[in-house]
A and B are shown apart, each in its own frame.
Chain A
Amino acid sequence: MAVTLSERAAKHVVKYMTKRGKGIGLRLGVRTSGCSGMAYKLEFADAANPDDIEFESHGVRVLVDPKSLPYLDGTELDFAREGLNEGFKFNNPNVKDACGCGESFNV
């Protein structure tokens, strides 16, 4: 069971965190909403919850709540640039199908 960051993603997270000036790491999760069942959650983390499951990837602490983990297990968070647009991308092996834009998905 693991959730990881690509090296590129980790570099950008560290940059954003440094600029933000606070935070202990990154929180990944899923929520039941969106047009195709589930939606990703990608937030800065200021504190860990007692039942959080923690991973460490390229020096970044990654927190996942236990309910989200089954949907995210094996996911690698990547950072991508598409033309002028740039941002983070979930490479999630659990996804069976996703809505057109990929912001929400089904497992």
Chain B
Amino acid sequence: MALLQIAEPGESTAPHQHRLAVGIDLGTTNSLVATVRSGLTVVLGDDFGRPLLPSVVRYLPDNPPQVGYEAQGAQVVDPRNTIVSVKRFMGRGLHDIAERESMPYLFDDKLGMLRLHTAAGLKSPVEISADILRTLRQRAEVSLGGPLVGAVITVPAYFDDAQRQATKDAARLAGLPVLRLLNEPTAAAIAYGLDNAAEGVYAVYDLGGGTFDISILRLSRGIFEVLATGGDSALGGDDFDQRIFCWMLETAKLKPLSVEDARMLLTRAREAKEYLTFHGVAPIGARLNSGETVDLTLTTEIFTDITRTLVAKTIQPVKKALRDAGLSTSDVKGVVMVGGATRMPQVQRAVGEFFKQDPLNNLDPDKVVAIGAATQANLLAGNRAAGDDWLLLDVIPLSLGLETMGGLVEKIVPRNATIPTARAQEFTTFRDGQTALAIHVVQGERELVADCRSLARFELRGIPPMVAGAARIRVTFQVDADGLLAVAAREQISGVEASIVVKPSYGLTDDEIAGMLKDSLLHVKDDAHQRALKESQVDAQRLIEAVHSALAADGDLLAAEDRRRVDAGLDKLRVAAQGDNRRQIMLAMDDLEADTKEFAARRMNKSIRQAFAGRNINELDGEPTAVGTGESA
């Protein structure tokens, strides 16, 4: 018979309705799959009980690919067909890959999409990741005894849209429904938050195989809020291996290596790194194909020394994230260590010194992310226990807004707004009879469109002709739980609408985001000044338009001399509006308004008279009595 798990009180599922859901940490070096079983989150092991699945895939000409330890073992003998750290290629083009020269792969960059030549044909990073995910899916289905309803897959916080989309595609290819993509540090916070449930501000320092992420989180009354994130999507444990590798080449004065030798020495480098976590000295010995032998001794001191810059490189984003959150190290109540690379003593020490406290590491840093993802998957699959209603809030990294008249940005969704979110604002037309509205979606913190990043443009057409300012156009920004943006515009009176979903190019790298944030702070004063100037230019333009259309309609109400004065005022304002002297624009506007005051009053009277005449035409046989001001005489 089927094997049952213990449920929370009142939460027993009906037969055949167990919702099997897993959390997957799709890592650069290793991947894991975890699930919630009898209220306990466990990482699922393979046939030998090993929890980690090395993220390594080896392609063979006639057989299905090997995934995991088996493939890892073949790295040395078959490097070209054995793909490691494929996560670094996800959603990237060839030019994005920094160290491709030292990689043993045959890259193919046709169609602007990176692919690798293997014994089993051309493989894209998405297909290679799918092979890893498929292995994890099979492991989970065998362990849990049934098909999965879905998975929560974690990604680095700074994965852009192309990289997130590639991850989703890989899951689909592996036959795995994605319940949600979750930021890795956020998943780690879930794992720790549930186990320790202490309120306060926490930093999550995640140094994995290929990525570094720092997140500043606030835990209060069971709610997680991400205050700020930062990181470096090309820095991780692999780089430490690389440093040891380079040190070996220099110290042993080795000639250029064959692909096999390079791969073997990299493996030796990683072994030495792991050995140094618990020992002061690591011996490195290898016999190369070229006949040379390598016999070196790496000490903790040398290792610390050659990786000092790497460790320092992780502290910069930490400082930036703290500044972003408006906090200092003394506000941080705890530091959570995630990722196998945080086991290195010099990393623990550097983080401890920076935050002036010992980092938390009571959960296995390799498993934390998978455990958090599984907890989230269990909730999303509908297996939530009563009273377990905590929320999870993610934030958007940069404000989202629209271009308005004069090239100004109107922010609709402010930076650090929690997602999913939907915000709406009403806009109107600028000209009389305007029937279309161009909508330009931008991202950034600056006041001028030219200084922000353009995301998308679309047009709302078919607005019925109305006077300027009468149309009511509601623009809605919607950001879903995965951070994808949809913008819709709807004219409220006629009901015409248009919308757009912002696709992959939307993602920014962390460097770009950091750069844009820095710019916005540097230019606060400039921006405020520019904004004021542009606003008065737009106001001036609006006044000119209004006077023009009034003159066209009722020009005959003005005496020739008055008309000349108004025309002169118009010219003066037009010239001022082209310059950048805001005071001059304001003065010219004041003058023109004063000159047209009487004209406006006459027009008002005329229209009232017309309205009156219309209504009384059947009852009165002549001019109606003059209304209001004496100027009608």
- Asked if B143 and A84 sit within 8 Å, CB to CB, the answer is yes
- Asked if A42 and B5 sit within 8 Å, CB to CB, the answer is yes
Q: How far is the CA of A27 from the CA of B1 in the complex (A)?
A: 20
User: With A42-B12, A104-B15 known to touch, is A84 a contact of B44 (CB < 8 Å)?
Assistant: yes
- Indicate if A39 sits at the interface (CB-CB under 8 A): yes
Residue on A nearest B38 in the bound complex, by CB:
A16
Chain B interface size, as a band, is: 20 to 34
Residue on B nearest A23 in the bound complex, by CB:
B9
Q: Which residues of B contact A46 (CB under 8 A)?
A: 9
User: With A44-B39, A85-B144, A90-B1 known to touch, is A27 a contact of B47 (CB < 8 Å)?
Assistant: no
Q: How far is the CA of A98 from the CA of B139 in the complex (A)?
A: 28
* Chain A, range 69-101, C-beta contacts under 8 Å to B: 80, 82-90, 98-99, 101
| Cβ-defined partner of B145 (8 Å) among A34, A85, A90 | A85
Q: Which residues of A contact B40 (CB under 8 A)?
A: 16, 19-20
Tell me the interface secondary structure of chain A in the complex.
strand
Residue on B nearest A84 in the bound complex, by CB:
B143
| Cβ-defined partner of B16 (8 Å) among A31, A40, A83, A103 | A103
- Asked if B143 and A43 sit within 8 Å, CB to CB, the answer is no
Residue on B nearest A82 in the bound complex, by CB:
B3
- Asked if B47 and A44 sit within 8 Å, CB to CB, the answer is no
Q: How far is the CA of A8 from the CA of B139 in the complex (A)?
A: 25
- Asked if B3 and A86 sit within 8 Å, CB to CB, the answer is yes
- Indicate if B611 sits at the interface (CB-CB under 8 A): no
Q: How far is the CA of A46 from the CA of B47 in the complex (A)?
A: 35
Number of interface residues of A (CB under 8 A): 35
Q: How far is the CB of A6 from chain B (nearest CB, A)?
A: 13
- Asked if B6 and A44 sit within 8 Å, CB to CB, the answer is yes
Residue on B nearest A103 in the bound complex, by CB:
B15
Residue on A nearest B143 in the bound complex, by CB:
A84
Q: How far is the CA of A19 from the CA of B74 in the complex (A)?
A: 40
* Chain A, range 11-46, C-beta contacts under 8 Å to B: 12-13, 16, 19-20, 26-27, 31, 33-35, 39-46
Q: What residues make up the interface of A, taking CB atoms closer than 8 Å to B?
A: 12-13, 16, 19-20, 26-27, 31, 33-35, 39-46, 80, 82-90, 98-99, 101-104
Report 28 cross-chain contacts, Cβ distance below 8 Å, ordered by A residue.
A13-B6, A19-B40, A20-B39, A20-B40, A33-B15, A35-B16, A39-B15, A41-B7, A44-B7, A44-B8, A44-B39, A46-B9, A82-B3, A82-B145, A83-B142, A84-B139, A84-B142, A85-B143, A85-B144, A86-B3, A87-B3, A87-B4, A87-B38, A89-B1, A98-B1, A99-B15, A101-B15, A103-B4
In the A-B complex, the 6 residue pairs with the smallest Cβ-Cβ separation, listed nearest first, are A102-B1, A87-B3, A103-B15, A34-B15, A84-B143, A85-B145
